[in-house]
Amino acid sequence: MGLFDKLTDKIFKETQKAVDGILKPNKPAQSTQTGPVQTPVQAAAPVQTATVTTDAERIYDEDGKYEFNDTFNRDTAYFRDIIQRNFADYVIEEGVSISRFDASAHPKCTPVTFLLTKGTKTVAFFVMKVNQTAGMPYRGARQVLRAAGIPSIHCISNYKNEEAYVVNRIRTIL
């Protein structure tokens, strides 16, 4: 066996050991303890709550133009209040599964945040985060709604979304 073959063989064996160490970690030592195993409980991290920013707290640049800074973390309660005030004559359903419109819809499709119905008029309203609108769960949900003949819109919860804007968008579709 030549020098090259010896080096190749050595490298192969060391690589195999490293791979085996990653794929097959050492087995834990057998415990002599009988009965249930107790593990220490760790304290949970503090929970941060979302806040709705008022007009006085919004950030504008020197020219008076609004600067996006992700302080508008609107939750569904904010949109629910707007919809209930301005569309009181509509039946408002919240968290509607897409499988209601197509039983064969993928289970991971984004549920409709608010479904507004009055007679034959129906509109689906989604509250989304900024990075969720391009994903397949949302696109699949919109495709199912489109096939069912139900128009849909979305608002990004991180954006300003003043009441007049949200109401105008819904009324435009209705």
Parallel/antiparallel/unpaired status of strands 112-118 and 121-128:
antiparallel
Q: Flag whether the pTM goes above 0.85.
A: no
Q: Report yes or no on 152 lying in a domain.
A: yes
Residues 142, 153: Cα–Cα separation, whole Å: 9
Q: Report yes or no on 109 lying in a domain.
A: yes
CATH number where 97 lies: 3.40.1350
**Number of C-beta neighbours around residue 38 at 10 A:** 7
- Number of domains forming the structure of the chain: 1
Residues 108, 38: Cα–Cα separation, whole Å: 36
Q: Report yes or no on 102 lying in a domain.
A: yes
The pLDDT tens digits for 79-92 are: 889 999 999 999 99
Supply the pLDDT for residue 63. Answer: 54
**Distance between first and last Cα of the chain:** 82
Please list, residue by residue across 46-79, b when 16 or more beta carbons sit within 10 angstroms of its beta carbon and e when fewer do: eeeeeeeeeeeeeeeeeeeeeeeeeebebeeebb
The pLDDT tens digits for 90-125 are: 999 989 999 999 999 898 888 898 999 998 889 988
Q: Report yes or no on 98 lying in a domain.
A: yes
Residues 12, 32: Cα–Cα separation, whole Å: 38
Q: Report yes or no on 78 lying in a domain.
A: yes
DSSP per-residue string spanning 78-142: HHHHHHHHH-TTSEEEEEE-GGGT-TTS-TTSPPEEEEEEETTEEEEEEEE-TTSTTSHHHHHHH
Supply the pLDDT for residue 59. Answer: 47
Structural domain harbouring 112: 70-173
Q: Give the Å distances, CA to CA, from 26 to 15, 21, 30.
A: 17, 7, 12
Q: Which residues of the chain have a pLDDT value below 70?
A: 1, 18-74
